[in-house]
Structure 1
Amino acid sequence: MMGDILFFAHRIPYPPDRGDKIRSYNILKKLCELATVHVATFADHDEDLGHAETLRPMLGSLHVEKRTVSKPVGGVRAILSGKPISLTLFDRPGIRDFVSRTMETESIDTVFVFSGQMAQFVPELPPGICFIMDFGDVDSAKFASYAESSSIPMRYVHAREARKLAAFERETAQRADASLFVSEAEAALFRSEAGLDADRVRALENGIDCTFFDPDAAFPAIERPAGPLVVFTGQMDYRPNVEAAVSFADDVLPIIRLQNPHITFAVVGRNPTGEVERLAGRDGVIVTGGVADIRSWLAAADVVVAPLRIARGIQNKVLEAMGMARPVIASRPAFEGIDAVPGRDLLVADTPAEEAQLVLELLSNSAMGEVMGRAARKRMLERYAWDETLAPLAALTGRDGLADPKDALAEVR
C-alpha cells in the first residue's frame, strides 16, 4: 500500500497567477491525483492566507507560515550563519515543527520539495522514503548573472549568494533521489556543475493550460489603443522582468517609433516597481499594473514580446502568448528551453536592434503574424499540455504500479 506525500513550496501554490505558482500548483494538483498530500508553505501577505482555504479541501493537511523576515534581517542572519540569504529569508521553526509532526503521525513515503530554499526543512530521512527535489531553475546561476550586471556593493552581495547557494544546491542534490529542472538546458547546466548523471538530474518541463489560454475562450475584451499594440507580460517586481521592460522602452521602442510613431507598448503585470511605473510617463508606453484577465491583453496584442536579458528555464509568458495564437518575439535567453521552431512558431532576436526590426516586420505583415500565431498554438497543443509534461510524476513517486518510489526511480533511470 502506498503512503502519503509531503510537499514543500516556498510560496503558497494558489492562485496559479505567476511563473513559480503556475508550476507548483500544477505539480501539486497532479500529486493529489496520485496520493494524499500534506503541504508546508509560505504566504507572502494576508491575501495568500485566504487562498489557503481554497487548497485545503484537496489536501490531507496544510500548514502556512506568513513570511515576516525582511531582507535586511535575512542578510544579517546570512552573514552570521554563513548561509545563503535565500535560506535565511525563509527559515521558520513553525515549518520544522509541522514537518516533524507529519513525519511522525502520517505514513509518508515521498518528500517532494518545490524550490531550493525549502530543502532546508527536509530532515534526515529514514530508508525507504523517496526525496524528490524540484529546483525549477539553477538559482545560483541567476545570482551569478545578477553579479555580472550589478555595480558595487550589490555585485559582491549577488556573487556571495551565487557561491553559497551553489554549494547548498549541490549538497541538496546529493541527498535527493532525483533533482528536477524546468528544462533540459537547466538540467544539463546543473549536471555539469554538480557532477551528477542524468539518472539523478533530469528535466520535468512546464506546461500550459491550453483550454484556458485559448483565443476562442470567453474573456473580456479591452479597449485597444488607436495604433498597433505591443505587449509584454510578467510579474513586474521581478528583476529580470523589470530590466526587460526598461530595456525595451530604452533601446527598442525608440527605433520602432521612428517608423511607426503610433505604436503603444503595454507593460502588463502586477506590482510594477517605481522604475517600471516611470515608463508610463513616456510617449507610447502604458503600465497597467495587475489586470483582471491576462488573456484580454494577449488577445488584443498585435505582437507579444519577451525581451528578457537574463532568463532561466522556460518562460511561461512565452508559452501563454503562443497558446493564445499570438505572434511572439523572444530574446535568445527567453527562448532557451522552449521546444519550438524559430521562424515558424515564433521569432527569436539576438539584439535589441533585431527585436525592433522584427516588430516592424510583423506590424507590416499581419498575415505573417496570423500564420505564426496559429503555428504557435498548434505547437503548444502538441507539446506542452500539462498532462503530458507532468506524466513522469507517477513513476517518480512510485504511483505507476511499482512497489515503492525507490523502485520507480530505478525503473525511470
Structure 2
Amino acid sequence: MTKPDLLFLVHRIPYPPNKGDKIRSFNLLKHLSKNYNIHLGCFVDDPFDLQYIEKLNRWCQSCHVIKQNKWLAKLVGLTGFITNKPITLPYYYSASMQAWVNKVQQQHDIDNVLVYSSSMAQYVEQPKYSALNRIIDFVDIDSDKWRQYARKNTGIKRWFYQREATLLQRYEQDICHAFTKSLFVSEDEAKAFRQLMPKAAEHKIQSLLNGVDTDFFKPDSQLTAVEATLPEQFIVFTGAMDYWANIDAVLWFTKQVWPKLKAQYPKLQFIIVGGNPSAEIKNVAKNQSIIVTGRVVDVRPYIQHALFAVAPMLIARGIQNKVLEAMSMNKAVICSTMAMEGINAPTDAGAKVADTAEDFFNACLAELEQPSIQSSRQWILNHFTWPNTLKKLDELFAHGVNK
C-alpha cells in the first residue's frame, strides 16, 4: 500500500537528536515516517550538523535543507522592525524554502502538514493552504520565554524582548486560530496557552508529551567518557551551553550554590556538559573544581557516574529533556520548579525541587550526605516513553482532510 505524503517543516535540522528541540522533532519524524512519505524542510544553523544531511534520507522521501548564517539571519530579523513583525519570522524566512514548499505541496497534492515551532508556520499560513490539515507543534509558549528575558533585563534590552514577546504572542494566537490543531509539550503548557485564547478555540489546543529513548538512556555502569577520565566525585549539568536559559541556570548555580557546596565537600567537582559553551561559561571553568566539556560524543557516561544531576532553571518553558534523561538513567535530580514543570514527578520518584539558593544548597547537601534510593526510571517508563506519547499524533493525522 502506498503511503500518503506529509509535509514537515522544522526550524532546525532534526538530526542528530542531541539537544532539546531536536530530540522531539527527530522522534516526531521517525514516528511519522512509518506511515507517511515525509517531505522535510529545515534549516541548519550549526556547521557541525552539515555532515548529517544525507542521513535524513532514511526517514524522508525528499528534503530541502538550507544552511543558515546566524549573523546574516540576525540582520534580516531586524527587518521585523520595519514590517511590525516579530523578528523570529524574518530570521527564519527564506524565499527558497517558500518556493520549495509551494512546489512540493502541488506536486504531491499533500493534505497533511506538521509545522514544528511558530517560526515555520509562515510557509503555510497563506489562504491557499487553509483547506489543509495543518497541525502546529508549538512545543512551548515561545513568546513567554521572551517575556521572561525581558523581566531579567533593563533598558533597551527589556524593551526589545518585551516587543518580541508581544508580537510573537499575537502571531501564535493567529496561527492557533487558523490551523487545525496546536500542540504543546505538556498539559501545563497547553493549559497556559488556553488562557491566552478565547473559549471557542480551546478545543484546538492539546498536549503531546515528550518521551525518552529508555533503551538508550538506561543505567549502565560500564559507560566511559571518550573525551576524558571522569573525576571520582562530581555532580552534573547537561544542555546546550549556547542557550541562554542553560547559561543563566549554570551561572546562578556556580555563584549562589557551588561555593558553599564545595566548602563542605572539597573533593567534589561540577561538570557542565554541552556543546558551544559561551564565553561566560568558559570563564566559569577557571575555577579548578568546575569542568566545562564542550561538545561530547555521548552524554550518558557523565550522567551515569555523577552523584546526581542538577537543573536549576530560572528561565524555562515546556519540558526539560535533561531531567527526563537523568531520571531515565535512575539518577537523582535536584531541580527548580520550572525544570520540573510538565514532568510533575513526586519526590519519592527521585526528583527534589528547590528554588532559593539556600533550599537548593540544602537539597544538594542532603543528597551528598545520604544518597536517596532511586525509582526515577520507573516513573519515566510509566509516563514518558515515545511509543506511548506519540499515539495521539497518529490520531491527529489519521483522517487527513476532505477536498
Asked if TM exceeds 0.5, the reply is yes
* Distance in 2 separating the partners of 1:283 and 1:218: 27
What does 1:346-385 align with in structure 2 at a 5 Å threshold? 346-366=351-371, 368=372, 371-372=373-374, 375-385=375-385
Instruction: Give RMSD over aligned pairs.
Output: 1.7
Structure 1 residues 319-346: Cα deviation after superposition (integer angstroms, max 9, x where no partner): 0000111111011110111041124331
The whole-number CA distance in structure 1 between the counterparts of 2:77 and 2:5 is 36
1:104/1:344 CA distance change after superposition, 3 Å: closer
TM-score, normalised relative to structure 1: 0.92
In structure 1, the residue matched to 2:203 is 199
**In terms of mean alpha carbon deviation, does 88-97 or 345-354 score higher?**
345-354
Matches of 1:348 and 1:126, distance apart in 2: 45
Cα 1:69–1:291, aligned 2, differ >3 Å: closer, same or farther?
Answer: closer
State the identity %.
Answer: 37
1:284 aligned to which of 285, 289, 295? 289
Letter in 2 for 1:6: L
Report the CA distance shift for 1:342/1:74 in structure 2 as closer, same or farther (over 3 A). Answer: farther
Please tell me whether residue 301 in structure 1 is matched to residue 302 in structure 2. Answer: no
Q: Which ranges of structure 1 fall in alignment gaps of 5 or more residues? A: 399-403, 408-413
Aligned to 1:209: 213
Alignment TM-score, normalising by the size of structure 2: 0.94
Superposed CA offset, 1:112-148 (max 9, x none): 1001100011133456520100000100000000000
Q: 1:112-191 to 2 correspondence within 5 Å? A: 112-122=114-124, 123-126=126-129, 128-191=131-194
Kept in 2, the 8 Å contact 1:211–1:217? The answer is: no
Q: Which moved more, 1:350-359 or 1:240-249?
A: 350-359
Taking the aligned partners of 2:382 and 2:68, their CA distance within structure 1 comes to 39
Is 1:232 the counterpart of 2:237? The answer is yes
CA drift of 1:109 comes to: 1.3
Task: Tell me, yes or no, if structure 1 residue 23 matches structure 2 residue 27.
Answer: no
Contact 1:345-1:379 at 8 Å conserved across structures: no
CA distance in 2, matches of 1:104, 1:218: 52
| Equivalent residue letter for 2:260 | I
Q: Are the structure 2 counterparts of residues 215 and 352 from structure 1 closer, same or farther at C-alpha, using a change threshold of 3 Å?
A: same
Aligned residue-pair number: 396
Aligned position for 2:93: 91
- The AA in structure 2 aligned to 1:23 is R
Asked if 1:262 is matched to 2:267, the reply is yes
Paired with 1:154 and 1:109, the residues of 2 have a C-alpha distance of 42
Q: Matches of residues 101-116 of structure 1 in structure 2 within 5 Å?
A: 101-116=103-118
Structure 1 residues 193-202 or 258-267, which shifts more? 193-202
CA distance in 2, matches of 1:2, 1:198: 32
Corresponding position of 2:390: 390
Q: Is the 8 A contact 1:2 1:109 kept in 2?
A: no
C-alpha deviation, 1:35, in angstroms = 1.0
Q: Which amino acid aligns with 2:310?
A: V
Q: Spell out the pairing of 1:325-336 with structure 2 (5 A cutoff).
A: 325-336=330-341
CA distances 1:306-365 after superposition (whole Å, capped 9, x unpaired): 011111100000000001111110111101110411243311112121111111111111
Residue type of the alignment partner of 1:215: P
Is the CA contact (8 Å cut-off) linking 1:267 and 1:286 kept in structure 2? yes
1:405 to 2:392 alignment: no
Q: Cα–Cα, structure 1 residues 312 and 6, in superposed 2: closer, same or farther, change >3 Å?
A: same
Task: Name the residue aligned to 1:275.
Answer: 280
Amino acid at match of 1:225: P
Q: Structure 2: state its 5+ residue gaps.
A: none
Paired with 2:344 and 2:252, the residues of 1 have a C-alpha distance of 26
Letter in 1 for 2:218: D
What is the distance in 2 between the residues matched to 1:287 and 1:354?
25
Residue aligned with 2:136, SS:
strand
User: Relative to 1, partners in 2 of residues 1:98 and 1:377: Cα closer, same or farther, differing over 3 Å?
Assistant: same
- Distance, in Å, in 2 between the alignment partners of 1:270 and 1:360 is 28
Q: Distance in 1 between matches of 2:79 and 2:244?
A: 23
User: Residue 224 and residue 112 in structure 1: after superposition, are their counterparts in 2 closer, same or farther (change >3 A)?
Assistant: same
* Residues 1:74 and 2:69 are matched in the alignment: no
Pick closer, same or farther for the CA change 1:262–1:36 going to 2, 3 Å. same
State the distance in 2 between where 1:62 and 1:274 align: 35
Contact conserved, 1:49 with 1:64, CA < 8 A, in 2?
Answer: no
Deviations 1:343-389 (A, max 9, x none): 433111121211111111111113x2xx12xx101111111110001
Q: Which moved more, 1:252-261 or 1:11-20?
A: 252-261
Q: CA deviation at 1:267?
A: 0.9
| Cα distance in 1 between the residues matched to 2:214 and 2:196 | 35
1:251–1:300 distance in 2 versus 1, CA, 3 Å: same
Partner residue in 2 for 1:411: none
Contact preservation (8 Å) 1:314, 1:337:
yes
TM-aligned CA deviation for residue 254 of structure 1 = 1.4
- SS of the residue 1:108 aligns to: coil
Deviation at 1:58, TM superposition (A): 2.2
1:102 is displaced (CA, Å) by 0.7
Distance change in 2, residues 1:16/1:33 (3 Å): same
Deviation string 1:135-187 (CA, Å, 9 cap, x unpaired) is 00100000000000012211111001001100110111111110000011111
